[in-house]
Amino acid sequence: MASLYTKVKKYLEANSKTESEFDTNIILQNDSSGDYIHTWNVSGLAKPSDDQIASYNSTATTEENNVGIKRTRRKAYGDIGDQLDLLYKDMLADKGDKSGEWFKSIKAVKDANPKE
């Protein structure tokens, strides 16, 4: 299940607001019964009901999963200097296309870590 923060962020985006609303207008808290919206002062947008927040669980979960996948990919890609060196070598060998080693290594990482 997605975090309340991400579900609220999705609610804001669906209503033409941005994540920057969290800076001064929204406070989330957690007590023994779970996370909840403590303060809501978003101009022109009503505080969402529990059902409205729950309706964003699927898209919020996908977003959180994709953030994790991006983090995994970033580590697997390795150092950008090494990537550029490999790309340079591919170009020298006239393999600046899908036949080059750089492309093959990047594709392998993406195939092993697909986004949702």
pLDDT, position 72: 97
Q: Max Cα separation, the chain?
A: 62
Q: Count Cβ atoms below 10 Å from residue 74 Cβ, excluding itself.
A: 12
Proportion of the chain above pLDDT 70, given as a percent: 100
Compute the distance between CA of residue 47 and CA of residue 29 in angstroms, rounded to an integer.
Answer: 15
pLDDT, position 32: 86
Q: Which domains does the chain have, with CATH numbers?
A: 1-66 (3.30.56), 78-116 (no CATH)
Asked whether the predicted pLDDT for residue 116 surpasses 90, the reply is no
Dump pLDDT digits (tens) for 36-64.
999 999 999 999 999 999 999 999 999 99
Q: What is the mean pLDDT of residues 28-38?
A: 93
What does pLDDT average to over the chain? 96
